[in-house]
Amino acid sequence: MDNNREKLMTIQEASEWASVYLDREVTTSNISYLIQYGRIRKMENNGNTQVSKMDLIKYYESYLGKREISWKKQLGNDLNWGLSFDHLREADTTKHVHRLHPYKGKFIPQLVEYFLDDHIDDYKGEVYFDRGDIVLDPFCGSGTTLVQANELGIHAIGIDISEFNTFISNAKIGRYDIQDIRYETNRILKVLNEMAKSSNIIKFEDELSTLLSEFNNKYFPSPEYKRRVRNKEIDGKKYGEEKEKEFLSIYYGLIDKYGIKLKQDSDKTFLDKWYIKNVRQEIDMAFDLIRNIENIQTKKIAALILSRTMRSCRATTHSDLATLKDPILATYYCHKHGKICKPLFTISNWFYRYSRDTIKRLKEFDQLRTNSYQICLSGDSRNINILENLREKSEYFYELVKENKINGIFTSPPYVGLIDYHEQHAYAYDLFGFNRRDDLEIGPLFRGRGIEARKSYVEGISEVLINCKKFLVDDFNIFIVANDRYNLYPEIAKRSGLKIVNQFKRPVLNRTEKDKSAYSEIIFHMKRG
């Protein structure tokens, strides 16, 4: 055993030792990060910070340490592990209003907070924005930048081409009468429950659930079944398909017994195609009740709760919630859960769950929010006049921006050919009647990733930055989060009259995709060219 394992070292000494130990560069910032988030102990000696060699060895031999080493081997030693936020739980990255509604392609709030927060520590070492500054997000998405700016006392303006994204963002930063929300959602739930009682849905679902439970306990005992599939004693796919067919006769027998109608009369719209008839009727009923709510803020948040509910109640499998394939109107073998699962026939349970969760999250945010101003504008960031639009919404905010100008940008534009941002919320566009502007999206999935798509993307992002620069102070800071796999951002910066002054290569640990391989994105720091 190494007798020097207990040796104490300064941060600089620890950096030099670890670089030799791991045969790669370990900076003083890397060591400071380990101290900051409790990976190793901080020790004081005559006012100087020191660390234990034993603590460092234990960390580098741990799961987290090995993952850091492995990812850096795959992605490069310039990977900034401090921006992995590997110390956080999912509850931290989806805190309070950030999880009011699902949204693909958003960054975690801690990433925004890191660059917006004016707190200086050993790891960050630089301040970009101060309390009372104004920040702009021209690709606002679901409003993460706005919410975090509010927490930090920074004013923020968002812009998004999607009317639904604008709706989500403004809903998150709104102020509400919690008692009124509770009253109105309870009123809606009461009507939904009465509606279910007057039909055969409750009796049907009760009997279906009982028979399904008995069937799954017999043929898919947990955890024995999953163990046998894992050990290849059973071909899960073949066995699951056989049992799926076997239960279908029971399922359709119940459908006939209770007179349940599965399909709607039409399948022309998203709402027609992706919802079982009873679910669609309940959605329409709930929406009618929401439209009659007098308090406009309560009406908005109730609509958001309904939208979140609708997303969970689409007629699809548990495995295909993110990317819909075909409508599922019958029981099916679920690869995710390893048993026979069923589609949803009522929205009551989900509406109840999301109503309570929304109230809880709004109350949590109220404890943290500041009196700073935030708003998301609906429009095209390539040509929108921010001041004119602000003047229509808030005279005070307009005067503030006109006098002080915007201090900088923090944003994450769409990635080339990755997501159709309108289509992911098609159900809400259908129900709420928002205008769709798919053709104005920059880099949408339907345009692909070819040469022409990339060229269009460079032009689009450049136009956004050129337009937004008009409203910025002279010494601005722009931060753009991107997975620049095609190396487009140097050209974008050049076209926009900007220069890239720094790059932060960040490991992305908690991805929702099934592919869990090493993955990174870059935060480009740009200034006036």
- pLDDT recorded at residue 122: 45
- pLDDT recorded at residue 125: 61
- pLDDT recorded at residue 322: 64
Per DSSP, what are the bridge partners of residue 159?
Answer: 377
Using CA atoms, how far residue 427 sits from 53, 298, 422, 433, in Å, is: 56, 21, 10, 10
Distance from C-alpha of 502 to C-alpha of 478, rounded to nearest angstrom: 11
- pLDDT recorded at residue 131: 95
- pLDDT recorded at residue 317: 86
CB atoms within 10 A of CB 59: 17
Which letter, b or e, does each residue of 224-262 get, where b requires 16 or more Cβ atoms within 10 Å of its Cβ? ebbeebeeeeeebeebbeebbeebeebbeebbeebebee
Per DSSP, what are the bridge partners of residue 480?
Answer: 411, 524
Distance from C-alpha of 154 to C-alpha of 135, rounded to nearest angstrom: 7
| pLDDT averages per 10-residue partition of the chain, 529 residues | 68 92 84 84 86 91 84 87 84 93 90 82 70 97 97 97 97 98 97 89 94 96 88 92 96 95 92 95 97 97 98 87 81 92 94 98 97 97 97 95 97 91 93 94 92 96 98 97 94 98 88 66 95
CA angle 85, 86, 88 (to 5 degrees): 75
396: its two tokens: 């005070």
- pLDDT recorded at residue 515: 54
Strand 498-507 relative to strand 8-10, pairing:
unpaired
- Residue-wise pLDDT for 23-66, tens only, equals 888 888 888 888 877 889 988 888 888 999 999 999 888 877 88
DSSP symbols for 310-324: HHHTSSS-GGGSSS-
For residue 193, give the nearest of 305, 288, 282, 304 by alpha carbon: 282
Question: Helix axis angle, 277-291 relative to 296-312, nearest 10°?
Answer: 170
pTM: 0.88
Using CA atoms, how far residue 418 sits from 117, 376, 378, 383, 441, in Å, is: 30, 23, 22, 24, 12
Distance from C-alpha of 479 to C-alpha of 489, rounded to nearest angstrom: 12
Question: Helix axis angle, 28-36 relative to 11-22, nearest 10°?
Answer: 110
- Residue-wise pLDDT for 336-385, tens only, equals 889 999 999 999 999 999 999 999 999 999 999 999 999 999 999 999 99
Rg (C-alpha) for the chain, rounded Å, is: 26
Distance from C-alpha of 261 to C-alpha of 271, rounded to nearest angstrom: 16
